[in-house]
Copies of this chain bind each other. A is one copy, B any other.
Amino acid sequence: MPIYNPPLRDMKFVMQEMLNVGQLTEYEKYAEADTETLDAILEESAKFASEVLTPLNVVGDHEGCTRNEDGSVTMPTGFTEAYHQVVAGGMMGLSESPEYGGMGMPSIWSTATGEMQSAANMAFAMYPGLTGSAAKAIGIGGTDEQKKTYLPKMTAGTWTGTMNLTEPHCGTDLGLLKTKAVPQADGSYKLTGQKIFISAGEHDMAENIVHLVLARIEGAPAGVKGISLFIVPKFKLDKDENPAERNAVSCGSIEEKMGIHGNCTCVMNYDDAEGYLLGEENKGLRVMFVMMNEARLGVGMQGLGQSEVAYQNAVLYAQDRLQGRSLTGPKNEAGPADPLIVHPDVRRMLMETRAFNEGARALIYWATMLEDLEGLHPDEKFREKCDDYLGLLTPVIKGYLTDKAMLTTLDCQQIFGGHGFIEEWGMSQFVRDMRIALIYEGANGVQALDLVGRKLARKGGRALMSLNGEIDTFLGENSDNENLSEFMDGLKTSKQKLTEGTMWLMQNGMTNPDNAGAGSTDYMHMMGLTTLAYMWAKMALVAQAAIDAGSNDEFYTNKIITGRYFVLRMLPMMDAHLAKIKTGAEPLMALEAAAF
């Protein structure tokens, strides 16, 4: 049975020592977000993740969700009880507004608890996760009345939420969607159409399910300009706003899929279902995209979560399993063989995963901290910077982190040999579950195009210029730190190569946009590596300062060892990506489409 121990020490290092999360208490909004409360919440959340959610992970995979003949869905054993614990503990409202019953703590706090839930049980964590996303959309686009009706229930978790975008013929290209909404005399709409791949679409854990549905109002313009967003509750509400009559929305079937079996991914049928406009007519995508950007950070976190839990189990196996002898002579002479961890190639896979995970954690937490500061900081320029960075980092966190987490999770599975391929050890599930993270909320190729086609160019390239300036300042301040020269050199070189890639794309993407498209994924990886190099330089700085101040905590020396692996062993990929970008589109586009 796989284990999961939330890496509290590392989480706190990133939050407190690197990002100084305590600075948030200086703002009135977060005056109560002190260290003691944070510690208590992290401890409690860790206990829940490791003791309740972790054992249920394999149960969810094995049993899956069952659609009954009447269209209702039965959850895997234990899921409903665990979900009720989430509700009873108020866990879903941690960073939600007190106005609707939330605790009002910083987003970065729920990033940490979210990482734990996602690592422990990705399929389960999607139920509260999607509810939070849907609530966010209502918070952005809803009327005061809508907020009052839905947000308290969704903040508590007694009602859950879903996002209904995809249809059989349209995924990325939402302009093609056909679900129609017919206005009714009372101001409501009747929705008709079919949505597919709807995560958490139907279940019996909550009193109601709030579906957010993209649809086209009769007579609306074609394409993306005619798409509106609707609230369609599973149960319509009576005059006291309690769930009453069943709405004409139902689960037609549950998709059979590669992983996340514990999450019911539904085909949802809307047959004149009653819905209520959320936000303005024909401007549904605006609301959806604000919310989706946040969801994308969550998907990056799912990648980290699976990579982390896979790593922890691979470490235990590598320390435990005796097989072969060290190339430099026996390390466990009394035993029949040495543990796997003596073998450099096993170390390579473990160190790659470890260095990636710790860097990814810093990057995701930093982004969420920027989110928290964006709404608070007194300096407009600073708030603008937060927004710029978030725009740039979102596709990188979604796309690069999940691309790379797929590989590290596969590596961790590989360490188990044949035992990794059988389901008994749980490593297969981590790989199968995490596979979806590269696909949903915008496939990673779409993220790369968003980065290269939109985010780089936005406001004259201000975001990247600003980030480059920040890195230059950082390097200027720390270039004389002899203990950290590898980190600073690595960052400096990465930044130079990224700049070279940026210039190439700008110059050659103008003449032929396919040149930008052809280099987009490689560029996204370069941006990922460079931002991780920045995170690692910052973490090394903090760790070195602690060592210089006399700390004997091995955490700090290990942090630097892990970071050195990143710099020496992972940054060399920069050259390969740059070389590929510079070939342009021609080698990809030369073959006639029909000749494939």
Which residues of chain B are within 8 angstroms of A579 by Cβ–Cβ distance? 572, 575
Interface assignment of A29: CB less than 8 Å from any CB of chain B? no
Which residues of chain B are within 8 angstroms of A346 by Cβ–Cβ distance? 445
Q: How far is the CB of A503 from chain B (nearest CB, A)?
A: 18
User: Chain B: which residue is nearest A259 at the CB level?
Assistant: B421
A558 near B591 with CB under 8 A, answer yes
Q: Which of B421, B435, B517, B562 contacts A591 (CB 8 A)?
A: B562
Chain A, residues 538-553, CB within 8 Å of chain B (1/0): the string is 0000000000000000
Chain A, residues 319-355, CB within 8 Å of chain B (1/0): the string is 1001110111000000011010111111111110010
A422-B255, A596-B318 known; A328+B514 contact, CB < 8 A:
yes
B590 near A564 with CB under 8 A, answer yes
Q: Which residues 242-285 of A have a CB within 8 angstroms of B?
A: 255-259, 265
A591 near B327 with CB under 8 A, answer no
Chain A, residues 438-461, CB within 8 Å of chain B (1/0): the string is 111001110011000100000000
The prevalent SS among residues of A at the interface is helix
B565 near A344 with CB under 8 A, answer no
B445 near A343 with CB under 8 A, answer yes
Interface assignment of A520: CB less than 8 Å from any CB of chain B? yes
B580 near A569 with CB under 8 A, answer yes
Q: How far is the CB of A17 from chain B (nearest CB, A)?
A: 19
Cα distance A403–B286 in the bound complex, in angstroms? 41
Cα distance A195–B453 in the bound complex, in angstroms? 55
Q: How far is the CB of A553 from chain B (nearest CB, A)?
A: 12
B344 near A588 with CB under 8 A, answer yes
Q: Which residues 411-443 of A have a CB within 8 angstroms of B?
A: 413-414, 417-418, 420-424, 428, 431-432, 435-436, 438-440, 443
Which residues of chain B are within 8 angstroms of A583 by Cβ–Cβ distance? 568-569
Which residues of chain B are within 8 angstroms of A421 by Cβ–Cβ distance? 257-259, 435-436, 439
Which residues of chain B are within 8 angstroms of A591 by Cβ–Cβ distance? 351, 558, 561-562
Which residues of chain B are within 8 angstroms of A417 by Cβ–Cβ distance? 171-172, 439, 443
A596 near B258 with CB under 8 A, answer no
Which residues of chain B are within 8 angstroms of A343 by Cβ–Cβ distance? 445, 517
Cα distance A521–B418 in the bound complex, in angstroms? 19
Which residues of chain B are within 8 angstroms of A341 by Cβ–Cβ distance? 593, 596
Cα distance A591–B414 in the bound complex, in angstroms? 21
User: Chain B: which residue is nearest A319 at the CB level?
Assistant: B593
B176 near A337 with CB under 8 A, answer yes
State how many residues of chain A have any CB contact under 8 Å with chain B.
98
User: Chain B: which residue is nearest A257 at the CB level?
Assistant: B422
A170 near B562 with CB under 8 A, answer no
Q: How far is the CB of A566 from chain B (nearest CB, A)?
A: 9
Which residues of chain B are within 8 angstroms of A595 by Cβ–Cβ distance? 554, 558
Chain A, residues 151-193, CB within 8 Å of chain B (1/0): the string is 0000000000000001001111101100000000000000000
A513 near B328 with CB under 8 A, answer yes
Which residues of chain B are within 8 angstroms of A465 by Cβ–Cβ distance? none
User: Chain B: which residue is nearest A350 at the CB level?
Assistant: B596
Which residues of chain B are within 8 angstroms of A373 by Cβ–Cβ distance? none
Cα distance A255–B428 in the bound complex, in angstroms? 13
Q: How far is the CB of A498 from chain B (nearest CB, A)?
A: 16
Interface assignment of A310: CB less than 8 Å from any CB of chain B? no
Interface assignment of A290: CB less than 8 Å from any CB of chain B? no
B345 near A521 with CB under 8 A, answer yes
B345 near A448 with CB under 8 A, answer yes
B327 near A513 with CB under 8 A, answer yes
Cα distance A568–B588 in the bound complex, in angstroms? 10
Interface assignment of A8: CB less than 8 Å from any CB of chain B? no
B424 near A256 with CB under 8 A, answer yes
Cα distance A176–B338 in the bound complex, in angstroms? 12
B587 near A568 with CB under 8 A, answer yes
A428 near B323 with CB under 8 A, answer no
Cα distance A554–B337 in the bound complex, in angstroms? 57
B573 near A414 with CB under 8 A, answer no
A171-B418, A590-B564 known; A445+B345 contact, CB < 8 A:
yes
Interface assignment of A516: CB less than 8 Å from any CB of chain B? yes
Q: Which of B176, B318, B587 contacts A569 (CB 8 A)?
A: B587
Cα distance A439–B420 in the bound complex, in angstroms? 9
A587 near B565 with CB under 8 A, answer yes
Interface assignment of A537: CB less than 8 Å from any CB of chain B? no
A345 near B520 with CB under 8 A, answer yes
Interface assignment of A534: CB less than 8 Å from any CB of chain B? no
Which residues of chain B are within 8 angstroms of A554 by Cβ–Cβ distance? 595
Q: Contacts A318-B596, A576-B576 known; list 13 others, CB within 8 Å.
A: A172-B417, A173-B322, A256-B423, A257-B421, A258-B423, A258-B431, A327-B453, A342-B593, A344-B518, A349-B445, A414-B444, A418-B439, A420-B439
Question: Could you list some 10 contacts between A and B, CB below 8 A?
Answer: A169-B322, A172-B417, A257-B421, A319-B596, A342-B593, A345-B518, A347-B518, A347-B588, A414-B438, A558-B595
Closest 9 CB pairs of A and B: A344-B517, A572-B579, A327-B513, A258-B428, A344-B518, A345-B445, A347-B588, A576-B576, A173-B323
